[in-house]
Amino acid sequence: MAAIVLVHGGWHGGWCWHLVSDRLKEGGHTVYAPTLTGLGERAHLLTPDIGLETHIADITGLIEHEDLNDVVLVGHSYGGFVISCAADRLPQRIQSLVYIDAFVPEAGTCTSDYADKVRLDELNAMADRHGDGWRVPPPDASFWVSDPELIEWVNARTTDHPKRCFSERINLQGRLNDIASRTYVQAEQHTNPQFLEFYTRFSKDPSWRTFQLPTQHDVMLTMPDETAEIIAGALG
């Protein structure tokens, strides 16, 4: 059956999609918003062994065990790595990919390859000081949103992220190219130049749908109506 699978980014959980998920379900769509292993309400499972491969298995396992087909696979931020690898392994089940202010990785890369050096040094220092060297405490939510009430709400829900996820390199087999429908959404008020670079590149490619939204990084929380509409538009 056709379905939408929403994959969150670093330090987040399935909770960040609730506004978008509600809107998509109201439109009659089947929606899954899983929490990746070791994060959110699954933080009690956090171990040093959890890496990107664990999270890829979370998503491929969901798709296979729920017997999903014609999937619109959506990834936010770090989730772009997860959906790219999951789609490369199950292209026959994926109808469309939607990247929400997310990484669109190339084979052999890891998240750290796309990070600003200063930012990467900060994350490594946080892991060393407060995460026993293997887990990265969440940044303050003001990095993702600007509304004070929303900052407080997000801060109460973010959890440590396994550091291994950011250094584990991906192995793409080229099957990702079998998926013709792709969408990129860039948050104009986010400071990561890498996401703007992705948007600029893909906006020149007629095979991509591209959008810019005047908001911060957690687009699904700040502009849920527009986000849901873009995702729904990838079905069909």
Active site residues: 77
One DSSP character per residue, 10-54 reads TT--GGGGHHHHHHHHHTT--EE-PPPTTSGGGGGG--TT--HHH
Residue type, 203: S
* Whole-number Å distance between alpha carbons of 88 and 97: 11
* Whole-number Å distance between alpha carbons of 27 and 15: 19
Residue closest to 6 by CA, chosen among 211, 147, 24, 233: 24
* Whole-number Å distance between alpha carbons of 81 and 10: 11
* Whole-number Å distance between alpha carbons of 86 and 12: 19
